[in-house]
Structures are given as C-alpha cells and as structure tokens.
Amino acid sequence: MFATPAQRKKWLEPLLDGKIRSAFAMTEPAVASSDATNITTSIRLDSDEYVIDGRKWFIPNAAHPNCQQFIVMGKTDRDAPAHRQQSMVLVPRDTPGVKIVRDITVIDHTAPEGHCEIEFKGVRVPRSNLLGEEGSGFALAQARLGPGRIHHCMRSVGAAELALELMIERAQARTAFGKKLYQYGSVGEWIAKSRIKIDQARLFVLKAAWMIDNVGAKEARQEIAMIKALVPTVHTAVCERAIQTFGAMGLSPDTPLADSWTWGRALKFADGPDEVHLQSIARKEIKARPYEPGHESPYLTPAV
C-alpha cells in the first residue's frame, strides 16, 4: 500500500511469490508497546542513509531461513506531535549491526520461524528504504494491523473448529464409568456451547470482512476491534474444553490442542492486547451517545 515501485519490485514481488519472508518489528522490551507512541528505537538521517539503533522483541518470522527483510518502526522526530514521530524503514536482514539475540519461546513452545529478540546497532540503510513518508509510521502501522487482525481471527475460527471436531470424535470414542463421554451432561454442554460460540464468531468475522470489502478497513475499525477482542477468547475456550475431554493426552504433543491453545492465548496480546481493543470499542460507543443532563432517555422514569 505504501511502497514505492522500486521497493515493490525488490521486496513485495518475491514475498508474494513465496520466495522470501518478512518480519514486522515494532514491539520493544523496554516500553509498553501496546502504546506505539512509547517506542524508543531511533531512526536518524545521516546524509543519504538512515541509521537505526534499538531493540525489538516478539518478532515472528525472524528466525526463518527465508526471512530476508524487516520492516522496522522507530522514531525519526522526537519533537513532532506524538503520532507523527514514527517512521518505518525496510532493513535487509543481512545488514551489518542486525543481531538476532534469541528466539523467545511462547509458553515453552518454540516456533521454528521464531518470535525473536533483535538488536539494531548502528544499522545503516539507504534513504530510499523509507516506507511512506517520515512521520507516517503510526498511520502505516494502523493500516497494516487492521487487515492483519482479521486474518488472525479467520485462522482462530478454523483452529476452534478443528478443536471441536477432535473433541466430538474423542467424546464418542472414549468410555468412562460405563458411558461414552458425550453422554455426560458436562461434555454434551461443552460441545453445544462450542458450536454456538464458533458460529457466532464466524458470522461476526464474516461481517467484518464484508465491511472491509465494502467500506474499507478504516470504516470497519470498530468491527475489527470487536472480533479481535472476541475470537481469541472463543479459540482458547474451545481448545480448553477439547483438552479436558482428551484428558492428559490433550496436553501432550499427540494432539494439536495444546499448541493451538498457546497460539490463541498469544493472540490476546499479539496485534494489540484485548483491553486496548475493548477500550477503543467503548470509546466509540460512548462518543456515539454523549450524555447530556436534562436529555435523559425517554425510557427512564423521571425523578420527581
């Protein structure tokens, strides 16, 4: 959306062809990164090059052998208004000064593509590697995260569906105390509640997708925030019930359930913690119905 034709040719086309991968590096260990105005990585112009210094973490893909490019968010102007201080630059992975410090495990799971901590020390890239304009980094992040969030939600609906499928199979195959597991009220209820929640989530995600297609990601912001706050909770709740139905095996690597639960859990932070989405949903709802003393709802009985 924001790359120049030369940037597209060099990076986007091989990405779309599946020849390379990229990583998006915004989050930093030292600051609360759900508020992106906090980030401290410095991106300083030095004649015709940008010099990058900072530390990022939880950066997926960075450990993958095909990952060749990072999109790094940092500050180009600390004196600008809070949402105009940030910029994004394209940093080839093999640039001197880029160091993968470690691949962080997520609840003891190691992802082969990584959730890496990365150090950028005196990293120099040509000025032409700037994405968009200087100061547009915050807006670029918002533009990227909206559509990214719906993809997470679509995958989560699929993951929950798989967990339910496995739970139903296990509940029919396993006998305890003379009855199939599904014949116990609790297990039957888990199956029913999971079906209800998954179908609610799927329809809500479809609505958000429809809105993105028809009115654009910006106008669909409220719906995107709502599904992002809802769907990972459905994903983990269904996995949790499926794990319980499987007994100890549910926690082992012999089912995909523990891994799936872990990913669903991580999604309650990734691309913004639930609380931040809930706060923005509430803000919009409140703005749409400003309270005016003397103009209370006609459905209330006036005080005498």
Ligand X SMILES: Cc1cc2nc3c(=O)[nH]c(=O)nc-3n(C[C@H](O)[C@H](O)[C@H](O)COP(=O)(O)OP(=O)(O)OC[C@H]3O[C@@H](n4cnc5c(N)ncnc54)[C@H](O)[C@@H]3O)c2cc1C
Q: Which residues bind ligand X (CB under 6 A)?
A: 24-27, 32-34, 58-60, 106, 115, 266, 269-273, 275-276, 279
Beta carbon of residue 158, minimum distance to ligand X (angstroms, whole number): 17
DSSP state of 2: -
Q: Can you state the percent helix, strand and coil of the chain, rounding each to 5?
A: 50, 20, 30
CB of 257 to ligand X, least distance (A): 17
The residue type at 107? I
Of residues 88 and 187, the one with the C-beta less far from ligand X? 88
CB of 269 to ligand X, least distance (A): 4
> What DSSP letter does each residue of 153-210 carry, written as one string?
HHHHHHHHHHHHHHHHHHHHH-EETTEEGGGSHHHHHHHHHHHHHHHHHHHHHHHHHH
Pairing of strands 21-25, 67-75: parallel
Can you tell me the distance from the alpha carbon of 85 to that of 66, in angstroms, rounded to the nearest whole number?
Answer: 31
Q: Which is nearer to ligand X, 28 or 223 (CB)?
A: 28
Nearest distance from C-beta of residue 61 to ligand X, angstroms = 8
Cβ–Cβ under 8 Å, residues 87 and 73: yes
- Phi/psi of residue 227, each to 5°? -70, -35
Q: How far is the CB of 30 from ligand X (least distance, A)?
A: 9
Question: Which of 209/266 has CB closer to ligand X?
Answer: 266
Nearer to ligand X, 71 or 168 (CB): 71
Distances (CA, A) of 197 to 43, 234, 243: 45, 6, 17
Q: How far is the CB of 32 from ligand X (least distance, A)?
A: 3
Kindly tell me which of 49 and 113 has the beta carbon lying closer to ligand X.
113
Nearer to ligand X, 25 or 171 (CB): 25
